């Protein structure tokens, strides 16, 4: 359960009944229960997956980019844009056992102009952008109900944007328009360039970047099956275009053996000391499942099936396929963080093919 107590810590020594009478109207917590929500405004009759979005506050209006083949009626994939709105209102803890359900709406904006529509399939959008570390008050007026004084540690991407990134940022994606599935990025001039680590004889996809450690991760089948690879860029340069195409650095790409297992390991997404990814390794619910690993002193710990972290009845992983997870995170000072898991699944009950879903994660 994700909890956000309010600023009102009223320290009075009074009788319980009297206090309940006086203060039961004050909402003393904001919570978002883990539950599976389909993003129906984005989902269509074919396939929607590979979604990424900016970090959400409890009241969120976030831009989202995702891969879809709806426009081609089940043919090739291109990148679409959309928005997600989440509003989680406070609740009166002394009167309600459970918080109200969040209001979640999603809508399409059309083709994503910052990633080209190429012949073949274009998938795996990923924003690489500088992340500012700072201390700023997080404020939102929930219908006149104040919230606790919380301070953010990192600034999310602009919620009102249409995918524009801060200076130095680039959008990465993968495409098979030249035969094999390889990674590309669009630089600040709008020019598409290949990633330094592409293997022309293999498939490379799903780039993700950890700025604090200067590590870029992606998956590739260059060794015969999909596994996760890493490239360390020690200069921590925020101008991504300056080094993403430097092929002389390809020799420093290495696999991440602690995340290996029998089967395929794909679609990593890293944020801080957490990585989520998809794998069909033994021991899962069926098909591809979603896993989580935590980095400890520079080494990734044994991955945990995310289903083991969820409350009973909240099915992130199913007998079908769950794929391309990403974390929407709001980092607070001196308080536990809000983490929302965004993923795709072809489970029954959707609008067709792969659909997009989200859930709050319990405290990790």
Domain enclosing residue 155, as ranges = 2-360
pLDDT given for residue 164 in this prediction: 85
**pLDDT band at 262, cuts 50/70/90?**
very high
Q: Taking 80 as the threshold, does the pLDDT of residue 354 lie above it?
A: yes
Give this prediction's pTM. Answer: 0.86
Task: Let me know: does 42 contact 317? Beta carbons within 8 Å.
Answer: no
Q: CATH number of the domain that 142 lies in?
A: 2.115.10
Task: Let me know: does 246 contact 193? Beta carbons within 8 Å.
Answer: no
Q: Taking 60 as the threshold, does the pLDDT of residue 41 lie above it?
A: yes
Q: Read off the pLDDT of residues 175-219 as tens digits, 9 standing for 90 and up.
A: 999 999 999 999 878 899 999 999 999 999 999 998 888 899 999
Please state the domain count of the chain: 1
Percent of the chain's residues with pLDDT above 90: 51
**pLDDT band at 339, cuts 50/70/90?**
confident
pLDDT given for residue 160 in this prediction: 59
H-helix segments, 184-271: none
For residues 126-139, average pLDDT: 72
pLDDT given for residue 46 in this prediction: 74
pLDDT given for residue 18 in this prediction: 34
Rounded CA-CA distance 196/179 in Å is 17
Percent of the chain's residues with pLDDT above 70: 74
Rounded CA-CA distance 360/247 in Å is 39
Q: Taking 90 as the threshold, does the pLDDT of residue 152 lie above it?
A: no
Q: In the predicted model, what is the mean pLDDT of the chain?
A: 81
Burial (CB count within 10 angstroms: exposed 0-12, middle 13-18, buried 19+), residue 270: buried
Q: Taking 90 as the threshold, does the pLDDT of residue 255 lie above it?
A: yes
Q: Which of 22-26, 132-136, 277-281 has the lowest mean pLDDT?
A: 22-26
Rounded-to-10 torsion of CA 32, 38, 41, 44: 170
Q: Taking 70 as the threshold, does the pLDDT of residue 146 lie above it?
A: no
Q: Read off the pLDDT of residues 269-309 as tens digits, 9 standing for 90 and up.
A: 998 899 999 999 999 999 999 999 999 988 999 999 999 99
Considering only residues 32 and 270, tell me which one the structure prediction assigns the higher pLDDT: 270
Burial (CB count within 10 angstroms: exposed 0-12, middle 13-18, buried 19+), residue 298: exposed
Q: Pairing between strand 215-220 and 227-232?
A: antiparallel
pLDDT given for residue 50 in this prediction: 59
Rounded CA-CA distance 325/275 in Å is 10
For residues 156-179, average pLDDT: 83
**pLDDT band at 126, cuts 50/70/90?**
very high
**pLDDT band at 27, cuts 50/70/90?**
very low
Q: Taking 90 as the threshold, does the pLDDT of residue 88 lie above it?
A: no
């Amino acid at each position: 359960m994700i909890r956000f107590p309010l600023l009102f810590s009223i320290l009075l020594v009074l009788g319980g009944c009297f206090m309940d009478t006086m203060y039961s109207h004050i909402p003393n917590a904001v919570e978002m229960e883990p539950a599976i929500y389909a993003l129906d405004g984005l989902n269509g009759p074919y396939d929607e997956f590979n979604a990424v979005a900016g970090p959400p506050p409890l009241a969120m209006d976030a831009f989202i980019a995702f891969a879809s083949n709806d426009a081609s009626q089940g043919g090739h994939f291109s990148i679409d844009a959309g928005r997600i709105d989440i509003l989680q209102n406070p609740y009166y803890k002394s009167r309600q056992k459970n918080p109200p359900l969040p209001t979640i709406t999603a809508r399409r904006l059309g083709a994503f102009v910052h990633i080209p529509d190429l012949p073949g399939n274009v998938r795996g959008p990923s924003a690489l952008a500088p992340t500012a570390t700072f201390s700023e008050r997080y404020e939102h007026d929930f219908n006149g109900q104040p919230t606790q004084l919380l301070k953010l540690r990192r600034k999310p991407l602009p919620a009102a944007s249409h995918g524009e990134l801060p200076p130095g940022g680039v959008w990465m994606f993968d495409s098979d328009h030249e035969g094999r599935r390889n990674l590309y990025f669009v630089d600040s001039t709008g020019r598409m360039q290949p990633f330094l680590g592409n293997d022309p004889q293999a498939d490379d996809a799903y780039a993700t970047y950890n700025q604090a450690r200067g590590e870029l991760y992606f998956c590739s089948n260059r060794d015969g099956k999909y596994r996760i690879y890493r490239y360390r860029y020690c200069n921590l340069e925020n101008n991504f275009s300056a080094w993403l195409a430097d092929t002389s650095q390809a020799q420093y790409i290495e696999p991440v053996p602690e995340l290996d297992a029998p089967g395929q390991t794909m679609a990593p997404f890293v944020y801080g000391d957490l990585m989520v990814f998809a794998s069909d390794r033994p021991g899962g619910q069926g098909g591809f499942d979603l896993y989580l690993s935590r980095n400890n002193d520079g080494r990734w710990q044994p991955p945990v099936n995310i289903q083991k972290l969820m409350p009973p009845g909240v099915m992130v992983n199913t007998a079908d396929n769950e794929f391309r997870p990403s974390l929407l995170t709001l980092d607070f000072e001196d308080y536990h963080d809000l983490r929302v898991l965004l993923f795709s699944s072809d489970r029954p009950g959707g609008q067709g093919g792969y659909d997009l879903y989200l859930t709050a994660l319990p405290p990790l």
